[in-house]
Chain A
Amino acid sequence: AHPEPPAPQVMAPSEDAERLLIQFKDEAGEPLGSPFDVPIAITPDRLQLVCNALLQKDEPVPLAFYVHDAEIVTSLEKTLAGQALETEKVLDIVYQPQAVFRVRAVTRCTSSLEGHTEAVISVAFSPTGKYLASGSGDTTVRFWDLSTETPQFTAKGHRHWVLSIAWAPDGKKLASGCKNSQIFLWDPATGNQLGRVLAGHSKWITWLCWEPLHINPECRYLASASKDGSIRIWDTLMGRCDKILTGHTQSVTCVKWGGDGLLYSSSQDRTIKVWRSQDGVLCRTLQGHAHWVNTMALSTDYVLRTGAFEPAEASINPQDVSGSLAELKDKAQQRYDQVRGQGPERLVSGSDDFTLFLWKPAEDKKPLERMTGHQALINQVLFSPDTRIIASASFDKSIKLWDGRTGKYITSLRGHVSAVYQIAWSADSRLLVSGSSDSTLKVWDAKTGKLAIDLPGHADEVFATDWSPDGQRVASGGKDKCLRM
């Protein structure tokens, strides 16, 4: 039996407590239950009890409550302190379910993995967190065994610096692109090359992105962006180029494969182009930036990266996701729909003109919001895994947090003494790790905006940072040629 909201009866009115009519609403604006009145001194815990009862779920879910975009931290009264109380009207309280699991902050360096003979340029965990791969200036890609934290395989084949690496969403293949414009595919279980070398670009590869799992569970197609201004879609099974998307007049800095059948590419010619991945036709060109567009992030990035793997179900020993192709596809589709919600995917782009733009590329050519505030170029932007916060790392030594839905500024994270190069979110969206050119990494608490842990130890600039999707480890590599876990 599910009890009706007990709040008004349970609380014994101390003095003549003022009461207020509230209505719970979810993030999309759908009301939950009917309005009822509560004392204004009510705390978030009580609100949580009430809301969980209304939601009628089996297990209570941790929730956060927002009134007029301000979070209720201590009690409703304090949050409304600055605002005029309207006892006549019904107050809307938005509830947001938080991740059930909690990721603890990484506190120490468990090991320093040497092996590369030149600077480590890119680091990536596989979607399940089982494997770790790193690309370096010594032209090799190295695979590391996570349980013993020792080197596992060295993949040789490239003839120039390995600029970007990308895991297939099923975790069974790794693609790496180099400065000689070649792309190699590797098998993480044996360290051998899979298939043929994919050559075709005329200048170096800037970004690689696989097709999402829920569109094709075989993980067959790969998109690559290059300095020569073109994007190529490769068929990894046949080992040849499927489509070439030209249109950009300068180097393409980033390419992202969205979950709705659209491909997004940003370039140094100040535009972002939206293509249909089915036939490679250009749908839209998003203009607005005043200088190179360095980076892009999709709201569904994290769920597209992890595919069918659910971080909440992670175990201490990371395993490969099992199941037939159809099962994996269903699971990935489910997770994608959940994160995407009702509206279309949102895209945020960061540029050399010190601003970010928030777009809804599937709908509109005009940006939703222009986010200014940084004092130097923006190097990386990332949506949090629950898509509520956008983090932007910039060369002005700060990281700024913005609201993921509206683009409003939340807070700045200051602490680094030099340019911040890369950031990574933890799987529960509560923590953020940032690597900078001052050779330190810092873990920040996204809710309070304060520094949680400082991770010094690198001898030189930190070029690449990644947090494993099961939340257990952070890997960082840099100019001092060693990888730290």
Chain B
Amino acid sequence: QPQNEHIELHRKRHGRRLDYHERLRKKEGREAHERSRKAKKMIGLKAKLYHKQRHAEKIQMKKTIKMHEKRNTKEKNDEKTPKGAVPAYLLDREGQSRAKVLSNMIKQKRKEKAGKWEVPVPKVRAQGETEVLKVIRTGKRKKKAWKRMVTKVCFVGDGFTRKPPKYERFIRPMGLRFKKAHVTHPELKATFCLPILGVKKNPSSPLYTTLGVITKGTVIEVNVSELGLVTQGGKVIWGKYAQVTNNPENDGCINAVLLV
């Protein structure tokens, strides 16, 4: 094996032999004959290995040739009729946003198949109190330390009024209160901005659930009347659960996945 590029260098500097191309052409022409001569003369284990390898090579070659042939000819279309039959009045209308039209049938099938509480984000890192609640010092000499401020995003209901400031133990800052969440439908991959109805469960602690703290993995209830879902019995669905998939305190928005 050459250790350096002196061969290439020489080639660049001085060029090739004058009859190089002709000799190359003739050598390649002889190749088929050489190969066949060797294959005929080989015996023993070497022959077995060689023939096995050659057989595999030939199969591949045949496949590629067939593919090339198929590409050139035009085949008659299959007799199967395409799926997705629609009546005549819907035929020329492709642009209807199917994102808003959800298939009830698929929902029913899903419900029967899986257990009801399979969630997209099953495990989350448990968040300790020191992380979620910040100690606020009060009092004339700032010695009292019984107040806590929530450092994560939270949801308070519509009719929320604070307790008198002297007595409130948990402070939920207005800047961290959110009303809407960006909810993605897992099948359609369409995202809607839906109002939050409430916090159902925070996996870290029941205290956070009552406070309304929203962290990654929290199950929240959202208002889905915008989507126009209907049950089998004909009733309109207006609330559904969704699970939060990001860290809202870092991003400034709540992203969730709808639990169908």
Residues of A within 8 A of B (CB): 118-119, 121-122, 136-139, 159-161, 163-164, 204-207, 227, 251, 253, 268, 294-295, 379-380, 417-418, 421, 437-440, 454-457, 459-461, 463-464, 480
- B108 / chain A contacts, CB cutoff of 8 Å: 459
Do B88 and A207 have beta carbons less than 8 Å apart? yes
Q: Is B15 engaged at the interface, CB distance under 8 Å to the other chain?
A: no
Do A159 and B86 have beta carbons less than 8 Å apart? no
A379 to B85, CA, bound (A): 18
Do B104 and A118 have beta carbons less than 8 Å apart? no
Q: How far is the CB of B112 from chain A (nearest CB, A)?
A: 12
Do B88 and A459 have beta carbons less than 8 Å apart? no
- Identity of the chain A residue whose Cβ is nearest the Cβ of B236 in the assembled complex: A417
Given known A-B contacts A440-B230, A459-B104, A460-B103, A163 and B88 have beta carbons under 8 A apart = yes
- B87 / chain A contacts, CB cutoff of 8 Å: 121-122, 163, 421, 463-464
Q: How far is the CB of B77 from chain A (nearest CB, A)?
A: 11
Do B105 and A119 have beta carbons less than 8 Å apart? no
Do B104 and A460 have beta carbons less than 8 Å apart? yes
A295 to B84, CA, bound (A): 23
12 CB-based A-B contacts, threshold 8 Å: A118-B85, A121-B88, A163-B91, A207-B88, A418-B101, A437-B101, A440-B234, A456-B233, A460-B104, A461-B101, A463-B90, A464-B87
- B230 / chain A contacts, CB cutoff of 8 Å: 417-418, 438-440, 456
- B105 / chain A contacts, CB cutoff of 8 Å: 459-460, 480
- B88 / chain A contacts, CB cutoff of 8 Å: 121, 163-164, 204-207, 253
Residues of B within 8 A of A (CB): 79, 81, 83-92, 101, 103-105, 108, 228, 230-236
- B101 / chain A contacts, CB cutoff of 8 Å: 418, 437, 461
A460 to B107, CA, bound (A): 11
A206 to B105, CA, bound (A): 28
Selected contact of B232 from candidates A138, A206, A295, A459, CB within 8 Å: A459
Q: How far is the CB of B234 from chain A (nearest CB, A)?
A: 3
Q: How far is the CB of B75 from chain A (nearest CB, A)?
A: 17
- Identity of the chain B residue whose Cβ is nearest the Cβ of A158 in the assembled complex: B81
Selected contact of B89 from candidates A138, A205, A379, A457, CB within 8 Å: A379
A138 to B85, CA, bound (A): 8
Given known A-B contacts A457-B232, A460-B105, A138 and B86 have beta carbons under 8 A apart = no
A207 to B88, CA, bound (A): 8
Q: 16 more A-B contacts (CB under 8 A) besides A137-B84, A161-B85? A: A118-B85, A119-B85, A139-B81, A163-B87, A253-B88, A253-B89, A268-B92, A295-B89, A417-B228, A418-B101, A437-B101, A438-B230, A456-B231, A457-B232, A463-B87, A463-B90
A455 to B87, CA, bound (A): 21
- B228 / chain A contacts, CB cutoff of 8 Å: 417-418, 438
A417 to B231, CA, bound (A): 12
Do A456 and B81 have beta carbons less than 8 Å apart? no
Do B232 and A161 have beta carbons less than 8 Å apart? no
Task: Kindly list the 9 A-B residue pairs having the minimum CB-CB distance in the complex, ordered from nearest.
Answer: A137-B85, A456-B234, A163-B88, A121-B87, A161-B85, A119-B85, A459-B105, A417-B228, A206-B88
- A119 / chain B contacts, CB cutoff of 8 Å: 85-86
- B231 / chain A contacts, CB cutoff of 8 Å: 456
- A204 / chain B contacts, CB cutoff of 8 Å: 88, 91
Q: How far is the CB of B71 from chain A (nearest CB, A)?
A: 27
Q: How far is the CB of B214 from chain A (nearest CB, A)?
A: 29
A268 to B88, CA, bound (A): 13
Q: How far is the CB of A411 from chain B (nearest CB, A)?
A: 22
Given known A-B contacts A417-B228, A457-B232, A161 and B89 have beta carbons under 8 A apart = no
- B89 / chain A contacts, CB cutoff of 8 Å: 253, 294-295, 379-380, 421
- Identity of the chain B residue whose Cβ is nearest the Cβ of A477 in the assembled complex: B87
Do A251 and B92 have beta carbons less than 8 Å apart? yes
